[in-house]
Amino acid sequence: MSKHPDRVEEALEYHRRERRGKIAVCATKPCRTQRDLSLAYTPGVAEPCRLIHKDPECVYEFTNKGNLVAVVSNGTAVLGLGNLGAAAGKPVMEGKGVLFKRFADIDVYDINLDSEDPEEIIQAVRLMAPTFGGINLEDIKAPECFEIESRLQALLPIPVFHDDQHGTAIISGAALLNALEVAGKAIDQVRVVFNGAGAAGLACARFWRELGVPADHITMCDIHGVVFKGRSAGMNPWLEVFARDTSMRTLEEAISGADVFCGLSVGGVVSAEMLQSMAPRPIVFAMANPDPEIGYEEARAARDDVIVATGRSDYPNQVNNVLGFPFLFRGALDVRAREINLPMKLAAARALARLARSEVPASVRQAYGMEDLHFGPEYIIPKPFDDRVLYHVAPAVARAAIESGVSQVQPKDLEAWLAEYRSGLIRRLGPRHELMMRVTRRLGETPVSVLLVDDQPSRVKAAARQLQEEGLVQPLLPVLDDPALQELDVLTDGLAAAAVLCGGDYAARLRGLLRHAEEQGRPFMAQLTLVCAPSRTLLVCAPTAPRCESALAWGEQLGEAAAQVVDFALELGYRPRLSVFCPREQADSECLASPALQHLRERFPDLDARMALGLDEVLDARREEPGCDDVEILAFAGPASAGLAVGLLGRMMEAELAGPLLLGSSLVVNLLPGGACADDLVRQAKLSAMMALQNE
């Protein structure tokens, strides 16, 4: 029973509320008309059936097999709860499906088999395998899990992966590489003690040997004590591999003088005195859940030089399998690998280790409520909600599959293929990542100088570090008492931060631009906010100049403001579709829209443009799934109506917002609202730089 009764009820309510459970099946093609029905089912469905019958590989072209994984369990080792059975294990398998979808956009059917007979499980999975692109075995107890996995992999031409073994091994292996780096120890010199010889413990020990830990430097312990040559209690062929010729018999003896402890057993088996007996700068992976072999606070109190990792999310260095299996399968599925082999696992571990050493985005720090997060004793492994894991790990896995010969995809130019593949993975993360990928491509090899203006020095410094590391934008930090910044405040309406493009000496350039703006009376023509929803990108714009007395003149001004945004979309390679909005209550609304549309059609003869009176009209009329190159532009009569639309769309579509950008002048100003983070400032700086290049 949980120590927190409120969490028990919260968890139960989370699972029982409508729709019950955590996963559902969604149609990916329309089925609204008789024609749709005839294509989705009979007679149209017969066509792909015939082709697949002639060439079985066509199943990847015409079905979801290439993006579908079976999560298979018999419930004999559910979390740390033991043998609960197939039905009681189903919530965990559904949860696994949620993680596959959330982190790698992989679809899942959970398969819960009511059998403890390895032969029955093997035959059941073998018979259903044509449906799936991969098999994830889950919560099946040792030693049966070893036989089930090895035999299924030999039988099937698709990846079979027991995550309880290899997932933990890969993530802990990445953490080990980085912990050794922080501690200043060589992997071929350290002494390692394992406690827990189940599926995960044995897999970790095998994997760490492949990473470079010598076999004779590993001491394995279990419920019977040290695994030594000649021991009879609890032995099996998989455990026998780690039997050592040693006089040690207890965990306490084994851990004395050891460099690394890896626990996959039960809580509380390591005392402070045992930790104090370890070598200098010890590494402790106490991964029993929910109670570690030694608590984080207790370990830190016992040794101030210890590096600690656990399986818990409420302490630093969580060894979490969600950092592994979604991205392993993503890479394996995308090259149609026949298996997930050792080179692919090693590639995943090393990619995770490299990622943890890079600058941590502010969005990740913000998600975890951390002001600072950098590579070191309390950050040796990436956080689960770091979006970068997808496009760092999956390409590494795909490359290893191709180079090791288990991939059915063999590109002629591997580097070009991987670059395009990585771009595709970024698109899977959603429109905001897709947008920024396009912006990044547009930025040239010579960094564009951007002045970062903010009232929060820590945010500016973090953004500047990230921009400097990427090398696409040259960040310039302001002299805070520069009078030009006081003039800039007038333009930014007192918003919390701005990224302002400049060239050369920023102060002289900025003053010159401000003088130019004063001479013209108004520096900007259009205001643009980017609304990045889960399935589409919307660009909401409005003219910023005072409204003209004449509806005709104002309509033309609205058209020119929208044209600025159409240029922006085309520059990024989008196919824009535009709606000009006019309030229903305004008598001159049609007159206002007509000159705007006429102006736009003269500039862009092929533009899909129309007049609209309400958001529902546009969103309902164009509800079909947009392509990755489609972008919707919504043009409003003024900043106030555009702002209301942005707020409404953001809530309705659970969208991320960027901007507003002020366009139409040689000065590009990109505004940030209060509460923005350094990542927002980085994105705004890149957008500003791209707009400046477009102006040139």
pLDDT tens per residue, range 651-687: 877 777 777 777 766 566 666 655 567 777 788 788 8
d(Cα 118, Cα 147) in Å, to the nearest integer? 8
Query: Residue length, the chain?
Result: 696
CB 261 within 8 A of CB 283: yes
pLDDT digits (tens, 9 = 90+) for 440-488: 777 766 677 777 766 667 777 778 887 887 778 888 776 555 555 554 4
**pLDDT at site 207:** 96
Tell me the average pLDDT across 362-376. Answer: 75
Q: List, for residues 129-187, the tens digit of each pLDDT value.
A: 999 999 999 999 988 999 999 999 999 999 999 998 899 999 999 999 999 999 999 99
The residue ranking higher by pLDDT, 240 or 10, is: 240
* The pair of three-digit structure tokens given for residue 476, joined into one six-digit string: 């310039």
| Sheet arrangement for strand 107-112 | 107-112, 68-73, 134-137, 160-162
**How far apart are alpha carbons 208 and 201 in whole angstroms?**
11
685's tokens:
């700086």
Q: List residues with catalytic annotation.
A: 41, 96
> Do the beta carbons of residue 244 and residue 228 sit within 8 Å?
yes
| Cα–Cα distance for residue pair 562/600, rounded to 1 Å | 8
Closest CA to 295 of 308, 282, 276: 308
Listing DSSP states for 37-102 in one string gives HHHHSTTTTHHHHHHHHH-GGGHHHHSSGGGEEEEEE-SSSBTTTB---HHHHHHHHHHHHHHHHH
Whether residue 42 is predicted with pLDDT greater than 90 in this model: the reply is no
Which of residues 112 and 613 earns the better pLDDT score?
112
Short-list 377, 339, 349, 379, CA closest to 361: 379
Lowest pLDDT segment from 263-272, 489-498, 575-584: 489-498
Which residue in 291, 79, 110, 369 sits closest to 200, CA to CA? 79
Q: Taking the alpha carbons of 401, 406, 409, 413 in that order, is the dihedral positive or negative?
A: positive
pLDDT, average across residues 417-446: 80
- 137 CB contacts (<8 Å, ≥6 apart)? 72, 73, 145, 148, 149, 152, 160, 161, 162, 163, 164
pTM score: 0.74
pLDDT at 675: 59
**Which range is most confident: 529-533, 611-615, 625-629?**
529-533
Residues 6+ apart with CB under 8 A from 17: none
Q: Between these two residues, 7 and 391, which has the higher pLDDT value?
A: 391
Buried b (16+ CB within 10 A) or exposed e, 641-672: ebbebbeebbeebebbbbbbbbbbbebbbbbb
- Determine the residue type at 471: G
How open is the CA angle 140-142-148, to the nearest 5 degrees? 65
Q: How far apart are the first and last CA of the chain?
A: 65
Give the separation between CA 439 and CA 430, rounded to whole angstroms.
15
What is the C-alpha separation between 522 and 509, in angstroms, rounded?
Answer: 18
Residue 481's pLDDT is 54
Least confident among 88-92, 574-578, 588-592, 632-636:
588-592
Structure tokens at 260: 């690394």
Q: Which residues contact 195 (CB under 8 A, 6 or more apart)?
A: 201, 221, 222, 251, 261, 262, 263, 264, 265, 269, 270, 293
SS3 percent helix, strand, coil of the chain, rounded to 5, is 50, 15, 35
Letter string b/e over residues 188-219, b meaning 16 or more CB atoms within 10 A of that residue's CB: eebbbbbbbbbbbbbbbbbbbbebebeeebbb
**pLDDT reported for residue 682:** 81
What is the token pair recorded at 319? 């060894």
User: How much is the pLDDT for 347?
Assistant: 97
Number of neighbouring beta carbons within 10 Å of residue 294: 26
